[in-house]
């Protein structure tokens, strides 16, 4: 009977008590555990299958948590969570009140830092190392970053500052894929390092000959690796990491856990110079469908592990798919449209556009700042750039939006995907800040269409518009309800739409909150309260004419937004009414000053009090409406 190990490991200390020869079996168990459980519960998949051996080796060699490991982004850290005492809770991952899908210090002292966005690990790790130095400690600090995340400008700012770090290592987990295929010059540079036939031949022959010498093989192999830097200056003189002051080691096979352990032991002895260990892995390793299509298996819903993901067509398209269809149609009619992605071609639904218009699609890698300023340059010469980025990632490019797009008043279209709550990805990914950081910018227009027809009208306006324009839309299925919006014209498309009339109160909502407002109005009506319901698709500029008319007729207003209250849509309403010296009783429905946890959208809406029954009760209580 095959010996089992994983059930006996509740901490890395127990892992380190095993003989090295047992580690491949541990890796096999760990990989199968991930396949079994993620297939049932969903979550990040391909990246975690690819990181198993690396994570096992790191915890085996380093004395974690005293030796600190910082995971970049953190979606590849499921094996880390399982080995650090959370195996029994793993079925709760990304679920309401369960484990986070990303490292979280609130869960475990093995999670050194809150992460979720790409490119942060090296800077964080350097901060930890500097604090260690100031406290006269000598523990090791390691940053683990993928080749996709290394396209982030922040990552290179960290690398540039690493030259004097001691007891410090960066592990480059190179799988040629971030979510979509890694793009750009540095991806090509890594490929050249890996493909260098002289170096690969030298490494293979030296390892084969020396590793076979009894008793001293491993020691001599480590000695050879110590002088590898000088050899690579001859064989691969353009290694950028050596030029940045690192002792570069690699590329090494990231799925050979025994070899990884030996190399990491050697790296651990390099105390005076920062080490960059270049590890080659394969996303989806050990599960053939994920190996063949790592992008589709990046994040998955529950699936049958015996057959893989279903190719069945969903009955209702998502907002992302709807925008993709609309922008493809628009590009057929207008050859000035250029779509820009920041390493999220599939995630933002732009795969079809890229296939149809390869010359008008640019994936800049995980470089949101560059994406925005690049779009500004395109717009300055008459093109119509469409920047497709998740709301939570667009905030990384705030200065570029202000300085390079809004200040010169350039017609860049921002397709702000995943606006609002996103569910299982949680607080690092909820898109609930973009209205606040966009609304105060001069020249910026902001829309949030509630359904497909509204999105089509707004996109048509944005393409003809001569100033910056943001189109927010959420994750999930798009409403197919047909609404009669005004014909295209700036003064009309920015007008709000009154969906239902009532005398006692006015509900003004945006996006997905429109249908919630309508259902709330129906409940209020059963309680003898009639409500006007308004779809405020145009967030910036406000439809001041409609707002003032409503406020003067009815001084009880409720605003509904899936966004933080501070600086949000409701704040804009209050500001305008204050400027006009109009006295109204206003309830703002939105997110108080907090980060929202992970869970299903329905669970999070209930926690926030956004279910129609909860909203109706709150409105009746706070407004204290009495029938005349």
Rounded to whole angstroms, how far apart are CA atoms 26 and 55?
Answer: 11
Degrees, nearest 5: CA angle 520-448-348: 120
Distance of CA 302 to the CA centre of its chain: 20
Q: Which helix (H) or strand (E) holds 535?
A: strand 531-535
**Could you tell me which of 359, 418, 412 has the C-alpha nearest to residue 387?**
412
Structure tokens at 365: 């890698």
CA atoms within 13 A on the CB side of 444: 24
Evaluate the CA torsion angle 520, 567, 406, 366 in order and state its sign.
negative
DSSP-derived 3-state class of residue 596 = coil
**Ramachandran category for residue 376: left, alpha or beta (phi over 0 → left; psi -120 to 50 → alpha):** alpha
Q: Which residue has the tokens 């920015």?
A: 494
CA–CA distance, 364 with 384 (Å, rounded to integer): 17
Token reading at 301: 């819903």
- Does 283 participate in catalysis according to the annotation? yes
Say which of 94, 203, 360, 396 is annotated catalytic: 396
Residue 340 to residue 386: CA distance in whole angstroms = 6
Question: Can you say whether the dihedral through the CA atoms of 603, 540, 543, 321 is positive or negative?
Answer: negative
Pairing of strands 361-363, 337-341: parallel
**Interacting residues of 362 by C-beta distance below 8 A, sequence separation 6+:** 338, 339, 340, 341, 374
Strands 531-535 and 497-500: antiparallel
Q: Which of 368, 402, 456, 561 is catalytic?
A: 368
- Look up 368 and say whether it is catalytic: yes
Is 450 strand, coil or helix? Answer: coil
> Exposed (0-12), middle (13-18) or buried (19+): which is 201, by Cβ within 10 Å?
exposed
DSSP H/E element including 173? strand 168-174
Residue whose C-alpha is closest to residue 593's, from 424, 392, 438, 436:
436
Phi, psi of 540, rounded to the nearest 5 degrees:
-145, 115
Per DSSP, 90 falls in state: G
Tell me the C-alpha distance between 333 and 460, whole Å.
Answer: 11
Chain centroid offset of residue 208 CA: 42
**Which residue is catalytic, options 86, 283, 439, 516?**
283
Q: Is 248 left (phi over 0), alpha (psi -120 to 50) or beta?
A: beta
User: How many angstroms separate the CA atoms of 446 and 436, rounded?
Assistant: 11
Give 535's Cβ-side CA count (13 Å radius). Answer: 24
553 CB-side CA count, 13 A: 14
Mind telling me the catalytic residues? Answer: 283, 368, 396
């Amino acid at each position: 009977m095959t010996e089992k190990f994983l059930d006996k490991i509740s901490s890395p200390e127990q892992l380190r008590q095993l003989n090295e020869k047992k580690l491949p079996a541990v890796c096999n168990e760990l990989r199968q555990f991930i396949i079994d459980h993620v297939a049932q519960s969903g979550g990040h998949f391909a990246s975690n299958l690819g990181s198993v051996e690396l994570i096992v080796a790191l915890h085996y060699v380093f004395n974690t948590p005293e030796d600190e490991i910082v995971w970049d982004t953190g979606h590849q850290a499921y094996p880390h969570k399982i080995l650090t005492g959370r195996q029994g809770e793993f079925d709760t991952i990304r679920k309401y009140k369960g484990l986070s899908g990303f490292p979280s210090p609130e869960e475990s002292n093995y999670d050194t830092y809150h992460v979720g966005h790409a490119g942060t690990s090296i800077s964080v790790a350097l901060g930890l190392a500097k604090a260690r130095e100031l406290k006269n400690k000598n523990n090791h600090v390691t940053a683990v970053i993928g080749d996709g995340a290394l396209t982030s400008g922040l990552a290179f700012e960290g690398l540039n500052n690493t030259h004097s770090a001691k007891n410090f290592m960066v592990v480059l987990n190179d799988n040629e894929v971030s979510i979509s295929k890694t793009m750009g010059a540095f991806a090509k540079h890594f490929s050249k390092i890996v493909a260098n036939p002289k170096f690969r031949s030298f490494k293979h022959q030296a390892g084969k000959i020396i590793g076979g010498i009894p008793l001293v093989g491993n020691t001599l192999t480590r000695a050879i690796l110590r002088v590898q830097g000088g050899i690579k200056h001859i064989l691969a003189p353009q290694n950028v990491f050596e030029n940045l002051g690192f002792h570069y080691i690699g590329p090494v096979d990231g799925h050979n856990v025994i070899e990884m352990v030996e190399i990491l032991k050697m790296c651990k002895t390099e105390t005076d110079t920062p080490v960059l260990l270049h590890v080659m892995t394969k996303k989806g390793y050990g599960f053939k469908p994920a190996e063949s299509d790592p992008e589709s298996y990046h994040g998955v819903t529950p699936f049958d592990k015996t057959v893989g993901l279903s190719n069945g067509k969903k009955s209702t398209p998502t907002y992302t798919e709807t925008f993709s269809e609309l922008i493809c149609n628009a590009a057929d009619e207008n050859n000035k449209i250029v779509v820009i992605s920041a390493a999220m071609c599939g995630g933002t639904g732009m795969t079809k556009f890229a296939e149809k218009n390869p010359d008008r699609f640019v994936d800049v890698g995980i470089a949101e700042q560059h994406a925005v300023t690049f779009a500004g340059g395109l717009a300055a010469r008459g093109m119509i750039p469409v920047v497709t980025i998740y709301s939570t990632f667009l905030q990384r490019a705030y200065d570029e939006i202000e300085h390079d797009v809004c200040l010169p008043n350039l017609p860049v279209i921002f397709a702000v995907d995943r606006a609002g709550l996103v569910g299982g990805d949680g607080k690092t990914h909820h898109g609930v800040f973009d209205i606040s950081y966009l609304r105060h910018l001069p020249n910026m227009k902001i829309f949030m269409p509630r359904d497909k027809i509204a999105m089509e009208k707004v996109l048509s306006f944005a393409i003809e518009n001569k100033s910056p324009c943001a189109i927010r839309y959420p994750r999930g299925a798009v409403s197919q309800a047909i609404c009669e919006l005004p014909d295209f014209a700036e003064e009309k498309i920015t007008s709000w739409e009154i969906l239902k009339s009532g005398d006692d109160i006015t509900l003004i909502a945006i996006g997905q909150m429109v249908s919630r407002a309508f259902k709330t109005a129906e409940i209020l009506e059963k309680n003898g309260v009639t409500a006007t319901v308004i779809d405020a698709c145009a967030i910036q500029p406000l439809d001041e004419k409609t707002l003032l008319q409503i406020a003067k007729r009815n001084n009880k207003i409720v605003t509904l937004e899936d966004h933080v209250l501070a600086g949000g849509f409701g704040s804009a309403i209050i500001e305008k009414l204050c400027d006009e010296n109009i006295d109204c009783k206003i309830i703002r429905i939105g997110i108080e000053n907090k980060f929202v946890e992970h869970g299903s959208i329905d669970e999070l809406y209930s926690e926030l009090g956004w279910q129609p029954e909860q909203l109706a009760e709150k409105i009746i209580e706070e407004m204290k409406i009495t029938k005349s």
